[in-house]
Chain A
Amino acid sequence: MLPFLTGKFGNPSSVHFYGQEARAAVDRARRQVAELFGARPNEVVFTSGGTESNNLAVRGHCETTADYGRHIVTSSIEHSSVRGICEALERRDWEVTRLPVYEDGLVRVEDVRAALRPDTVLVSVMLANNEIGTVQPIAEIGALVRERREAGQKHLRLHTDAVQAASGMRLDVDELGCDLLSVSAHKLYAPKGVGALYVRRGLRLAPQNVGGHQERERRGGTESVPLIVAFGEAARLTRLELEERAERIRSLRDRFESGVESRVADIVYNGDRARRLPGLSNISFRFIEGEGLLINLDMQGVAVSTGSACSSGSLEPSPVIRALGRDDELARGSIRFSLGKDTTEEEIDYVLEVLPRAVENLRRLSPLYQKAVGSRQMAVGSALRVKDVES
């Protein structure tokens, strides 16, 4: 990447030597990114990141198919970008069906089947959730969509937001059966500000950035060569190291969770614990609010995120955690722990040392906790009395 920030300033659209040098670098990166998800290079459109990829996929497809139907099927736990796009389309007379995810955080293929209508043109379900890591049955949904398309519903397509998934599981667009797939480079340890959309050959999208011929007229604007080059390299490394990284991260995550279980009572895991990415652990701590815990941990050098409303700036706690059927208290007390390729065993052990204390400190302050402890003591007391009478 560095040469393209310091000396190689060519514009890939220029015919001269400098331009061609940049063009070759972008082409190489396009091959590397295509290989990451088993696509052809010309099926890759570079964007500014996950949100833009999602916008181009959903809006771009819907704008070209509006004459055939105005219905979208999506899930209730999509990333805010897809959620926001769907809400914007609803304001323009589109209809959106949001599938439930149940307590395990997973979409059911039968629900997708039941939601499909003759005027459905798009199913958009994320591959893995960014808060709880649950991995959706995209290959099964893909097969269903293909079946409908072959039966005559030829404008029906499947989009999957794979931004979170890309760092933790191998992607293959043919196995997934998707027509559109969004990724973001920074989830693969490349710089922020670049991403890509996979667009299956033959699928036409209405560009959202018009006025430039770049990216085969699908996304106008001069390419960010340094970022794209970095993305290509990150994709290459991910492909090489993915299994090894995932295995190591999974074992650290398991060490973390069993450590939390043995040290902290009254916790609830969010999302199915088998069908999820290796690097995420989402836990609700009863009786306390997530941001208090976040700041306590932050002061001790541990960075986490929370589904509490306070952090997001909204009044409602995380819609993802709420969609699992959790009450407000559990949604507000949810914490997402993310592990990455550079997380160490020492770091996990340090978190296991400071976390129980931080939880305990906040619980001692909590009137909800005091009430629960009080009623438990009473329950223990009456159990003892019963025992006394029996003996």
Chain B
Amino acid sequence: MTYSDTFKEHLANPRNAGTLEGADAEAEQTNPVCGDRLRLALRVRGGRVESARFLAYGCPPTIACGSALAGMLEGMTLEEAARLTRSDITEAAGGLPPRKQHAAALAYETLQEALQQAEARP
């Protein structure tokens, strides 16, 4: 299996890793099959994602997707974030081998949960 340079760059220098003080949304999803976990925290100001941070346990695609997702979310409006698809995440991660598409699915599910939380806040 070969990974792209972009993918490896996400792995070597993950963007936006960590937790967020005073987050408006903190979502965590687990892949029930392989046990991978992704946590995503968002701080939202005026309908826009001001900061996004992720934590990931799992195979490299899960880390790369977490890094790619958190990196691209910052600056987006919640509407723009809601329009993101799994393939947007895959593309930003530098592509995934066919057997690893589930990592993008996990990132997508975590994003949906985080957006629900953010929208539910007054």
Which A residues form the contact surface with B (CB < 8 A)?
287-289, 291-292, 295-296, 299, 308-310, 313, 315, 328-329, 332, 362, 364-370
Contact = CB atoms under 8 A, between A and B. Distances in A.
B33 A315 contact: yes
B57 A287 contact: yes
A309 B55 contact: no
Interface of B: 3, 8, 11-12, 14, 17-19, 28, 33-37, 39, 54-60, 63, 66, 99-100
Query: Residue among B12, B28, B33, B34 with the most chain A CB within 10 A?
Result: B34
A365 B35 contact: no
B8 A299 contact: yes
Contacts of A287: 57
A317 to B, nearest CB: 9
Nearest to B28: A367
Nearest to A362: B63
Contact of A289 (B8, B12, B28, B59): B59
The 6 closest A-B pairs by CB, nearest first: A310-B59, A367-B55, A366-B57, A367-B39, A291-B59, A292-B60
A328 B99 CA distance: 20
A291 B60 contact: yes
A287 B17 CA distance: 16
10 contacts: A289-B57, A289-B58, A310-B34, A315-B34, A365-B54, A365-B57, A365-B63, A366-B57, A367-B37, A367-B55
The A interface is mostly helix, strand or loop, or mixed, namely helix
A332 B18 CA distance: 22
Nearest to A332: B35
B34 A299 contact: no
Nearest to B56: A365
Contacts of B54: 365
Contacts of B19: 370
A307 B36 CA distance: 15
A288 B56 CA distance: 9
Contacts of B57: 287-289, 365-369
A367 B56 contact: yes
Contacts of A296: 11-12
A295 B55 contact: no
A368 B34 CA distance: 15
B60 to A, nearest CB: 5
A309 B34 CA distance: 8
A332 B37 CA distance: 13
A308 B1 CA distance: 14
A308 B62 CA distance: 14
B28 to A, nearest CB: 7
Contact of A295 (B34, B37, B39, B60): B60
Contact of B59 (A299, A308, A329): A308
